[in-house]
Amino acid sequence: MILVVNAGSSSLKVSLFTTDLTQIADGAVSNIGGASILTLNDQSADITAKDHASALQQMLGALDQAGHKTTDISAVAHRVVHGGAYFSEPARVTPEVIEAIRACIPLAPLHNPVNLLGIEAINALRPDMPQFVSFDTAFHATNPDIAKRYAIPDQQYAQGIQRYGFHGSSYANMVSEFGDALPDRLLALHLGNGASLCAIRYGQSVASSMGYSPMSGLVMGTRCGEIDGAAVLRIAHDLGLSEADHLLNKQSGLKGLAGDNNMKNLLARSDANARFAVDHFCYWAAREAGSAIVAMGGVDAIAFTGGIGENAAPIRDKILDHLAFLGSVDVHIIPADEERQIARDAIRIQSDSTS
């Protein structure tokens, strides 16, 4: 079996897959370091988990009690947000890989450190267990330099200031799910509380709406999306760096426009602010889509994934209305399953190393 681990600052999510990619368990530990709650499938229990290693140990025990023999786990695969310029594909965990992930902490200071906690927890509990990592950024490493580079001096570029793109495991899963039916030029939209789109040509990312961070591009639940750098400087001048960061990442987007980042709630409302927020979300998704279509030299199909992309037909329809000038284009809905893709990555690396 393959155990997929997604470590957050005070949480730990796990999914258990057989090697044919059948998911057989799903669980989480929340509020690590406090009054923790362990959830496995439909069952929940209060636990004491002082750190991620303790949380993971108790999750493994819960899996055993539920009839999943954790001694049959052959590998653990982790989500890591940022691979920087180091990683263009998933990797097996080695001391060198750990140091490279650590070197990317300045690029993702809130995420990479806690992603490392999951790896360290497994090392502490089962040091001989093979571990693998999949990066949110790696799928976009195939973007050409002209798409990745900002028009800034070499010194800042050398310090890692460039477009990286995110939601990579989601887009990789989409490519895997299409299989041989993958369109040559696919406009892919991952729409959820975090939202992005990707131009996928012949199975590879050639452009992403997200950039140096997951803040840019489409309007999102609480992130502003595309914004002029001078406006960011003005906000930072007025509020200070920390408050500006909080405002642009946590208080903007749909929440900033209509006071709510839940698209289902906004669609149920009839007030002007809610309608404007929905229209704003769809308009800018379509605007960014035009840019992605240019990057591919056209489009053969459009695919939606993510909570909004899969479940909110009115949003899909509004975006497609903006793109009606394209003529007849196939539209697909692909269920998001980043965990399955992360397990798929681990299985592939294991297979390649033994073949």
Provide the annotated active-site residues: 136
Please list, residue by residue across 136-175, b when 16 or more beta carbons sit within 10 angstroms of its beta carbon and e when fewer do: bbbbbbbbeeebbeeeeeeeeeeeeebbbbbbbbbbbbbb
- Spatial separation of the C-alpha atoms in residues 134 and 168, rounded to whole Å: 9
- Spatial separation of the C-alpha atoms in residues 66 and 61, rounded to whole Å: 9
- Spatial separation of the C-alpha atoms in residues 328 and 42, rounded to whole Å: 43
- Residue 5 has phi, psi (to 5 degrees) of -120, 130
- Provide the strand spans (E) within the chain: 2-7, 12-17, 23-30, 35-40, 43-48, 75-80, 91-92, 131-135, 185-191, 195-201, 204-208, 301-305, 330-333
Altogether, the residues listed in the chain come to a count of 355
